[in-house]
Structure 1
Amino acid sequence: MDLETVRTFVAVADAGRFQEAAAELAVTQQAVSKRIAALERTLGVRLFTRTARGAELTIDGQAFLTHARELTRVAERAVGSVRSGRRPLRVDVIASRGAATGLMRGFHRAHPETELDVVMLFDIETAVAAIRSGAIDASFRAVSVPGRPLPEDVESVRVLDEPLQLLTGPAHALAGARSVTVAQLAGHRIWMPGIVPGTEWAAYYDDLVAEFGLTIEATGPNFGSDALLDTIADTPALATFMGGQTRLVWPSGHGLRRIPVTSPTPVYPHSLLWHRDSPHPALSSLRAHLADSATAGHGAADTWTPGWALPR
């Protein structure tokens, strides 16, 4: 099967018009028509019906589209198997100041010869799609969220359990505590304006609330970590959760307190995701580095993670 005809079919299906697909592929509309006709002859079915609105997929075209996309992805990975070493290792992290970024900094110090391209995608669906398409080589995520198992061609391994800490201002009722138990947090307002429904971190905190009867508020716009720290510092009734390895700097006058949470300690389970056929030569080095050195807090006793989290 001619891969160019398959790519052309996908382009027309996505664009909905032969003319727009031709512009995207930088060929003539006549060339697009000929490629589609050749593919239809090969398959023995009609793939499109021309209408006033453009080109609509037939039932056979709809059935073929999923397989056509996979064919193009396989072709891209085949090309990448001999070319990927020419570009940096591209890794997705959730936030620039989070634990995953710290793990990547450690890898860079251990392997300065490896070029890195660190990106920040929004949620696990976006990250998995980017892994499968070859847009990125790996991602740090919490998996697997209920109802959203990983595709068979995406592999994962849990690399770090990050303990949560309570962050309060100086006038908060718990500000003087050296540690707090989860039970002591019941009745306190924990403000986290960055939780987006449907994301893996929303699933994590939903389960935390359900398990221990906590009150987490995600109201209000998310103006970033600086605005969050300002509000926590000035509002005695509010506290927030943060990862124990999250790097934050605030003005000395804020008087903020980072307080360990115990009995049990909620930990956020970071996993590394990658495509099982990923050709990038540096990916194996990253995985080996994480297996050797990125285990701080991993498997500690008296900790809590959601039941859906990837096993250790």
Structure 2
Amino acid sequence: MRTFVAVVDTGQFQHAAADLSITQQAVSKRVAGLEKDLAVRLFTRTARGARLTIDGQAFLPHARELLRVAERAVASVLPGSRPLRVDVIASRSAASGLMRGFHRAHPEIELDVVMLFDVGTAVAAIRSGAIDASFRAVAVPGRPLPEDIESVRVLDEPLQLLTGPAHALAGARSVTVAQLAGHRIWMPGIVPGTEWAAYYDDLVAEFGLTIEATGPNFGSDALLDTIADTPALATFMSEQTRLVWPADHGLRRIPVTDPTPVYPHSLLWHRDNPHPGLATLRAHLAAAAAGHDAAGTWAPDWVIRR
């Protein structure tokens, strides 16, 4: 098809051969093969070159359109020609904030943001090519990353205590981890087997805390309503989680210290992924990173340290 159009555009088999970097004999064989498939003659040879037959004239616009479609199909999967697909876990998370910052710094890179459930799902999507990267707490005990998945630590996000106005700790400017012992911390969104469940299991084991994951998870709005109305309950909230609540809720976000539990965010990607936007994202995150494992912070031993 491409050879046929090249002959039309150049007017001669010889010139088409030069444009396509093949022999004139190869051009003739390709055109003859196309004519055999179509059971019509496409060209009449003249002293001045090749002239389209009536059938050739009818076929030409369709041939050009087929080539345009083929070029668009190839372009759709070329690195850099499709959006960079990144998993941010949740729209209100710190990872989502990192991607908003990246978009402001690099508006020329088209983004497709998705939200997958757990690290296993994210890794499978990276390996299949469904996404280019994912923000995760890497890794989970007993579940190392596959060898073809790369990761880099990009953010340690401090946890805060969220209480209602009548909670015993509501008036504190900060609380130590030791002060949380004996208080009920309600987190209905914890799902066994996920990386965040593993994180909070270790936090409980390390500091003797009481975290309750009972009841259905109706989302952040229902969680905030319950915390505001129930003096006996508090919850953990990551420092950069974006939340809005009614003014009469009187909720308090209280820093946790001695040590400060930090939730580690890492970027995961496939080592053979050629998308140029991925390299730009990694460079952006590296430049914005504030370091990790700072003095006075805590993260589980299984978290990848680099």
1:36-70 residue CA offsets vs partner (Å, 9 max, x unmatched): xxxxxxxxxxxxxxxxxxxxxxxxxxxxxxxxxxx
What is aligned with 1:170? 165
What is aligned with 2:90? 95
1:298 alignment partner, one of 284, 292, 302: 292
* 2:162 and 2:254 in contact (8 A); partners too: yes
What is aligned with 1:309? 303
What is aligned with 2:179? 184
1: CA distance, partners of 2:75 / 2:213: 41
2: CA distance, partners of 1:84 / 1:239: 47
Residue 118 to residue 172, structure 1, CA distance change in 2 (3 Å): same
* TM-score, length-scaled by structure 2: 0.74
What is aligned with 1:20? none
Indicate the SS of the match to 1:164: strand
1:62-110 residue CA offsets vs partner (Å, 9 max, x unmatched): xxxxxxxxxxxxxxxxx89961322110000111101000000000010
1:140-192 residue CA offsets vs partner (Å, 9 max, x unmatched): 00011111000000000000000000000000000000000000000000000
2: CA distance, partners of 1:220 / 1:113: 44
Is 1:264 aligned to 2:255, yes or no? no
For the pair shown, the structure with the greater C-alpha radius of gyration is: 2
* 1:141 and 1:272 in contact (8 A); partners too: yes
Q: Which amino acid aligns with 2:222?
A: A
* TM-score, length-scaled by structure 1: 0.73
What is aligned with 2:194? 199
Identity of aligned residues (%): 87
- Equivalence map 1:112-261=2 (5 Å): 112-261=107-256
1:174-217 residue CA offsets vs partner (Å, 9 max, x unmatched): 00000000000000000000000000000000000000000000
Q: Which amino acid aligns with 2:255?
A: P
* 1:92 and 1:127 in contact (8 A); partners too: yes
* 1:263 and 1:303 in contact (8 A); partners too: yes
* 2:181 and 2:209 in contact (8 A); partners too: yes
Q: Which amino acid aligns with 1:290?
A: L
